[in-house]
Chains A and B, each alone.
Chain A
């Protein structure tokens, strides 16, 4: 596999400073990261960046891009990113969102499905699962939450390198920033928007793929059917022997589904 470099850029967009990671060449794919911040530049990204341009905005307030004071909901953050897409000429990009990032992508699609060429949601938050609850990030040490995010740590080589792999004081601070901003935007209702399922009724022609690990211990897989029903024409890919991180737990299967969807 050819080594594909990535770089971090900082821009002023929609009235605020925003940093993002950029790597690869080709049609742009917007990658929206999870609630703990960006976990790293992973194998699936290196592979995809061989023929796609990946744009990974570092959410405002999650430890790198400064917090934006007017935001109080995930819908606000979705609106901010929609403004950034217009300003940066990213409209028409594909989008993929993971966990909380999946929720942001779903909110953006519900606000304006036309801004994307396609939508991919990986174990997204945003719709309250009918069975089980989204795991609470605020009542446990962050390490415990990260450990619960994969089904089998020993069978997941990339797990050890997530978020740089060590709880250094700098990483502790970044986690505190990220979870604080998650709390600010999604404390209650916890990690969901009761209206999102209905609001997704606006999404009618957007090619959509929903990917979910069958053994997800963070976002219960029971919510997958609700997303699937809410987004017309969406495809649902349930992955066996997989927790909340299909992209590192079942990278091969994940990439196969994603590439087929994006092609």
Chain B
């Protein structure tokens, strides 16, 4: 990068768009849509992930085998692939039903019927990932826990509900927080199927007609959007690390990491920070 380009980056006129009109709030509003999508996505994924995890650890192969295939397929596909597929494959009657059923108090961005495909995609992918995270939490428990619960005369359901899940799910909290970082970043992908969030808002700022008839400089706009993500995700990774250290100290076990996910690797390596 030459000096000319560096001055381009920092020239005050190129940052004027930030204080012009309500550009800044416009970008921020878009970012809030991303955060909402991430939170809704992860909450629903947790619910479906728990169902999948229970199926996967079931002793009935009739349940565990198909659940295993389902999980391995969805978590090994690119999320954007899933979202684009659903955008084409979800029948319009479903989308219509979604648009009719969604309550009004939820944010405008979610009222769009296209959001259904995006949400389903986020849930299909992340419930598969969270299923694996939960499974590794449950499998990290000592076998004795199962045996002791069984010896006390608890049924399988009671063992799960009172002994295994409360301990196993607690151990998955740090890994879930780091997955939230991924989900946060992944919510930008829904801009590709035309949902109004931060990337779309940023793009429209940089198109002619905004910024008082002048285009906002795209480089600066997206650097700012990137900064939003860095701030939020940095806090999440710190939180995840703190939780993980506490959990490790308490239980004295290390969880097996789910493979093929960048932020799970990062969470693991964060722990070796000097």
A-B interaction: no
A interface list, Cβ under 8 A from B: none
Chain B residues near A (Cβ < 8 Å): none
